[in-house]
A = this chain, B = another copy of it.
Amino acid sequence: MDAQRILEEKQYTTLEVSQRGHIAHIVLNRPDAMNSMIPAFWTELPDAVRTIDDEGIARVIVISSTGKHFSAGMDLSVFTNMAKDFTGDPARRAERMRRLVMLLQDTFTAIEQARMPVIGAVQGGAIGGAVDLLCACDMRYSTEDAFFTIKETQIGMTADVGTLQRLPKLIPIGIAKELAYTGRNFGAQEAQSFGFINQVFSDHDALIDGVMKVAQQIAMNSPMAVSGTKTMLNYAAEHTVSESLTYMATWQAGMFQMEDIQTAMHAQKTKSIPEYPPLHGGIHKMKD
């Protein structure tokens, strides 16, 4: 398949990316370094996500990792790199800092902007920047031994690449505050109790297996329906009901698709698997 070939040719150094059927799988593969987020990671992840999105073949993206821990978060080398460029008066350094933070934030916003759902699958520790990544995913699943921590608070800084912006929309804010102010670890069971984690699995194999089953369920649905659903839910989380309803109607004006409905109904009648055409791909190629 085209998408798979394009991704293979990318030769990422921090990720392994594959696509089977309608499920794309991004694996953080620097287990020896606890998948810490080195400079290359911050450009490779959005590149992978946007490539998959633009191809339009995948209907779900799963992000998982290898080794004992999901990810140790921001690698110290990023801070070091940052420091090198920080010259000039304080105001100009501040202005550069602002733009740099926006650049880093954009890495995880790519997850949010992908047309297809993105699922995070977590084993072991998900620390600091890893929590920022997970907050940008649509859903999160984990092993029993998984734990999470908004580590930034404990190392003297305010978390700045997405956790504080997205968490209050994911879990009760009183709990989000305790976790963020203390920076303490919280485990899989606790995380599930307040809705941060959708489901907990016994171990890494069971986790990948379970997540792939959810992914399969989604991939069996029309990609137009699922993509519209993601756009609408994200919109509704940030707008009034009244604005969201009007936006929905405007969306539906063009996107209501009798063909997919007929495909679905035919499949249900014949107890077969529906075959939907893919989303349109390749829009960014127009640029060339």
- A residues apposed to B, CB below 8 Å: 39, 43, 79, 81, 83, 85, 88-103, 105, 109, 112, 117, 138-140, 152-160, 162, 164-178, 180-184, 194-198, 214, 217-218, 221-222, 224-230, 232-233, 236-238, 240-242, 244-265, 268, 274, 276-277, 279-280, 282-284, 286-287
Which residues of B are found within 8 Å of A252, using beta-carbon distances? 97-98, 101, 158, 160
Task: Out of B94, B182, B254, B284, name the residue touching A98 (CB < 8 Å).
Answer: B254
**Provided the pairs A173-B169, A248-B164, A254-B253 are in contact, do residues A280 and B95 lie with their beta carbons within 8 angstroms?**
yes
Q: Do most interface residues of chain A lie in helix, strand or loop, or is the interface mixed?
A: helix
**Provided the pairs A172-B170, A229-B159, A255-B94 are in contact, do residues A245 and B165 lie with their beta carbons within 8 angstroms?**
yes
Contact (Cβ within 8 A) A88 B280: yes
Contact (Cβ within 8 A) B277 A89: yes
Contact (Cβ within 8 A) B156 A260: yes
Contact (Cβ within 8 A) B105 A245: yes
Contact (Cβ within 8 A) A39 B218: no
Contact (Cβ within 8 A) B95 A226: no
A208 to B14 Cα, complex, angstroms: 47
Which residues of B are found within 8 Å of A89, using beta-carbon distances? 257, 259-260, 277
Query: Could you write out 18 A-B pairs with CB less than 8 Å apart?
Result: A85-B280, A96-B280, A101-B249, A101-B253, A105-B245, A156-B224, A156-B257, A157-B260, A160-B249, A168-B169, A168-B237, A169-B236, A169-B241, A172-B194, A177-B229, A181-B226, A184-B217, A253-B253
Contact (Cβ within 8 A) A249 B279: no
Which residues of B are found within 8 Å of A259, using beta-carbon distances? 89, 91
In this complex, the member of A95, A236, A241 whose beta carbon has the largest number of chain B beta carbons within 10 angstroms is: A95
A94 to B259 Cα, complex, angstroms: 14
Please give the distance in Å from A191's CB to the nearest CB on chain B. Answer: 10
A228 to B173 Cα, complex, angstroms: 16
Closest to A277 in B: B88
Contact (Cβ within 8 A) A182 B214: yes
Other than the known A90-B90, A158-B224, what 11 A-B pairs have Cβ atoms closer than 8 Å? A85-B282, A89-B257, A89-B260, A156-B222, A156-B263, A156-B274, A157-B261, A158-B256, A168-B237, A172-B195, A182-B221
**Provided the pairs A155-B264, A260-B156 are in contact, do residues A283 and B182 lie with their beta carbons within 8 angstroms?**
no
Contact (Cβ within 8 A) B233 A176: yes
